[in-house]
Amino acid sequence: MPRVPILWRVATVHEVAEETPHARTIVLDVAGWPGHLAGQHVDVRLTAEDGYQAQRSYSIASGPEESRLALTVERIDDGEVSPYLAGELRAGDRFELRGPIGGHFTWRVEDGGPLLLVAGGSGLVPLMAMLRHRAARQSDTEARLLVSARSWEDVLYRDELSQFTDGRNGARTHYTLTRSSPAGWEGWDRRVDMRMLTDVGPPAAQRPRIYVCGPTVFVERVADLLVELGHEPATIRAERFGPTGG
């Protein structure tokens, strides 16, 4: 992809979709959007009537092949930006964004695999962009996804991810719920640990490309466990976020 200037652009909301009780996906039309890679993010800037501005970064949820840009935003109740984006925003509304940003935490089909994707909460967003890119390109690259969430209701993209539960087309999704689980739950119900990562695979001997995204503590813990399992630190790409005010 040719290098282009990262400019502020006006994004117009095409539609919004509720993902969970605390998160929604915002589908945008962005004039002059230069395209992106799976795993990149954008900066969003809101300007109040009195001129006050607030800015936050959000991962891109849509694959590069999609005609519109999608962001999935989790609401932080005392935040400055996310309550508006994840609660008040409606079709036809506009705001500013700039991007795409980031080059380290990206994946293209041409990069190959196998892939190990580990998500904590809304850290699933950029990993979903990778899976959508993989599907759009009809890639058979082996991909293993481990999603850690507080409860089943907090898991993003549940319907879409259901196509990856049985290993069809070389992709498989695993879940662990850390706070509550529904009756009859057959997945894991604890924080990510070494046994879990071993079961999900692929093993270190296959030198998988590893992407871990989530809260800082989660990412650092998972990365440490992966190194203990024999994965080379250079193969682990991490994207972390912490409390930013939302």
CATH number of 109-241: 3.40.50.80
- pLDDT exceeds 60 at position 26: yes
Residues 6+ apart with CB under 8 A from 103: 37, 40
Residues 6+ apart with CB under 8 A from 157: 19, 124, 128
Confidence of residue 246 (pLDDT cuts 50, 70, 90): low
Q: What is the pLDDT of residues 111-148, one digit of tens each?
A: 998 999 999 999 999 999 999 999 999 999 999 999 99
Residue extents of the structural domains in the chain: 8-101, 109-241
- Domain covering 8-101, topology: Elongation Factor Tu (Ef-tu); domain 3 (2.40.30)
Tell me the two tokens of residue 187: 């997945």
pLDDT score, position 163: 81
Q: What angle do CA 74, 125, 189 make, to 5 degrees?
A: 80
